[in-house]
Amino acid sequence: MKKLLDLITEELEQAFVDAGYEKELAKVTLSNRPDLCEYQCNGAMAGAKKYHKAPIAIAEEVVGKIPTDGIIGAAQAVKPGFINLKTDEGHIAGYLNRMLSEERLGVGKEASPRTIMIDYGGPNVAKPLHVGHLRSAIIGESIKRITRFMGNHVTGDIHLGDWGYQMGLIITELKKRQPDLPYFDDGYTGEYPEEAPFTIGDLEEIYPAASAYAKEHDDYREEALEATFQLQNGKPGYRALWQHIMNVSVADLKKNYENLNVEFDLWKGEADAQKYIPDMVQRLKDEGFAHLDDGALVVDVKEDADTKEIPPCMILKSDGAALYDTTDLATLVEREKLYRPDKVIYVVDKRQELHFVQVFRCAKKTGIVREDTDLQFLGFGTMNGKDGKPFKTREGGVMRLEHLLADITDKMREKIMDNRTVAEEEAESTAKIVGLSAIKYGDLSNQASKDYVFDVDRFTSFEGNTGPYILYTIVRIKSILKKYEDTGKSLSDTEIVGAKGEEEKALMLEAAKFSGILQTVYEELAPHKLCAYIYDLANVFNRFYHDTKILTEEEEQRQRSYIALLKLTRDILMTCIDLLGFEAPDRM
Ligand code: ARG
């Protein structure tokens, strides 16, 4: 289906042409004086110079050419030369009915679908999942759903941090605590036990303990670095331990992400990239891309147009060890080999931007990816507490994700029980659903690149620009529709027929904007614009609701029209929250 704005623009273009002016002047925008009109065009002002005519004269001629039976219901030329437009209700109603009848509410699919990979989540195995990783998961999941909804072939990859120093730390600490385990016996030739010698609870205690100890004790730190090195070089006992750490951690991560409604198609990680490194490095050397700089192997990536210094991409340290750059390049080698993506989107903390500039340039320059592969860095800002500093627990420690979720769920449960609309058993699952909307909407409604303040009280409020408010609106619509059905009437033989009141027309227009908004959200990868839209839509709906007697309306056709409009509003809101990564309960 065409976008509403395009339909209006096309009609106005024809009027410009019929009046003897170029159609490029017919640029239509939303009105900035909603009290006067719905849409406006300032093209007559722009055309005045070119056609040596007073703008108002042009505006009047164009208005005279607008057909009387089109989507533009009323047009007015206003001094000094504005064209004010109002849409025709009948046409809008027809448009909305088509949305209702079409799959995906009339949103067209991408004409040439692309293979897109989304690198998001990025947790570090064995370290507890904390709020720092929350944003990547929330934003990435929404980007995945939006790009997929538009018809692309999308794969989400968690890209675990599973190959670093933290693994060496855990191995070293285990060796200190349980030196008799077979993993540490170099002469051991049997099979290693199937069962891990630790639980997730142990790991969560071992890692911070080891990390803190290493900071104070150089020899211990050396040992951990050595263990990391041996693991990376394939020492069997350490590989077996690594596998245990992976199994235990990944099971725990899966549970956590499931609670967040975040689902990855691939659970690959840095470790998977390692096998591509030797060949890649050899080729970079052979083809003259890499050179030695102070003992390290690097690829220059600076460009003439740079305004600030872009250091070379580091391929190998002087001791031969691979680095973060190396791993991300090798991951691209693997992605190119296995999936051949047209585009890779990295949803990562914006403080890592320089790293990605280096990696992207190096990958392009050296042919690791194709010339036209679109590598995009979607950097996000920090989630701060009310004090403006990175979000912490009340005691000042690092906030664990599951504690944050539990806190919000508790708060939601209290509110829901106060409302007394759901039974106690249902309150628990409802609290989870609504709590998640509070967190996700609170995050996504901010432009991703900006820092934002995680304000629990504001985010969990049922009023204002919040997830719970959006859900409350959906629940309200669902309840009216259910009551309507309970009177024995069917939801399916309803049809929107033009508006009676202003609030109703406003709701119709807002609903009609859906596909246009979604297109922008998709092109700009901007979930915050989807949030802004559903907030507007919910507000317009609630004004209509307070203004209109729906269930007691006696004129049947009118009532059916209201119901159809409600259905459409519900469907749009439900589609949008799904694209944002949360869902709505039946009651709350
Ligand atoms: N594990 C990394 C971190 O916690 C994030 C990974 C981001 N993705 C990537 N391909 N480098 O900082």
In this structure, what are the phi and psi dihedrals at residue 70, rounded to the nearest 5 degrees? -95, -165
Secondary structure class of 373 (helix, strand, coil): coil
| Closest CA to ligand 1's atom 6 | 122
The residue type found at 372 is: D
pLDDT exceeds cutoff 90 at 52? yes
Residue whose entry in the numeric block shows the structure tokens 């009532």: 559
Residue whose entry in the numeric block shows the structure tokens 């719970």: 468
| Closest CA to ligand 1's atom 12 | 122
| Closest CA to ligand 1's atom 8 | 122
| Predicted pLDDT at 451 | 95
How remote is the CA of residue 145 from the centroid of ligand 1, in Å? 21
341-353: pLDDT as tens digits = 999 999 999 999 9
| Predicted pLDDT at 419 | 79
112-168: pLDDT as tens digits = 999 999 999 999 998 878 887 899 999 999 999 999 999 999 999 999 999 989 999
Ligand 1: atom nearest CA of 356 is 11
| Closest CA to ligand 1's atom 11 | 328
Secondary structure class of 3 (helix, strand, coil): coil
Q: Which of 284, 416, 380, 348 is nearest to 124 (CA)?
A: 348
Q: What is the mean pLDDT of the chain?
A: 95
Ligand 1: atom nearest CA of 352 is 12
Determine the Cα–Cα distance for residues 4 and 87; give it in Å rounded to an integer.
10
Region 469-488: what's the mean pLDDT?
Answer: 97
| Predicted pLDDT at 399 | 80
Tokens at 354, concatenated: 């320089």
| Closest CA to ligand 1's atom 7 | 122
pLDDT exceeds cutoff 90 at 232? no
pLDDT exceeds cutoff 90 at 216? yes
Q: Mean pLDDT lowest for which of 72-81, 276-285, 414-423, 456-465? A: 414-423
Tokens at 479, concatenated: 């309840």
234-269: pLDDT as tens digits = 999 999 999 999 999 999 999 999 999 999 999 999
373-417: pLDDT as tens digits = 999 999 999 999 988 888 887 777 778 888 899 999 999 999 988
How remote is the CA of residue 159 from the centroid of ligand 1, in Å? 7
| Cβ 570 vs Cβ 477: under 8 Å | yes
Q: Which of 275, 163, 181, 167 is nearest to 237 (CA)?
A: 181
pLDDT exceeds cutoff 80 at 81? yes
| Predicted pLDDT at 320 | 87
User: Which of 313, 348, 356 maximizes ligand 1 atoms within 8 Å of its Cβ, making it the mutation to test the pocket?
Assistant: 348
The residue type found at 537 is: L
How remote is the CA of residue 346 from the centroid of ligand 1, in Å? 9
Q: Mean pLDDT lowest for which of 30-34, 314-318, 422-426, 566-570? A: 422-426
Torsion angle in degrees (nearest 10) through CA of 148, 154, 156, 159:
-150
> Rounded to 5 degrees, what angle do the CA atoms 450, 270, 185 make?
135
How remote is the CA of residue 241 from the centroid of ligand 1, in Å? 23
Secondary structure class of 167 (helix, strand, coil): helix
The DSSP bridge pattern shows strands 452-453 and 82-87 to be unpaired
Q: Is the dihedral of CA 428, 429, 432, 438 positive or negative?
A: negative
User: Which of 127, 155, 159 maximizes ligand 1 atoms within 8 Å of its Cβ, making it the mutation to test the pocket?
Assistant: 159
| Predicted pLDDT at 369 | 98
Per-residue confidence at 192, pLDDT binned at 50, 70, 90?
very high
Buried b (16+ CB within 10 A) or exposed e, 85-110: bbbbbebbbbbbbebbeeebbbbeee
If 0-12 CB within 10 Å is exposed, 13-18 middle and 19+ buried, where does residue 516 land? middle
Going by the DSSP 8-state scheme, the letter that residue 501 receives in this structure is S
| Predicted pLDDT at 116 | 98
Helix or strand holding residue 380 (H, E)? strand 374-380
Protein residues with CB under 6 Å of any ligand 1 atom: 119, 122, 124, 159, 161, 328, 346, 348
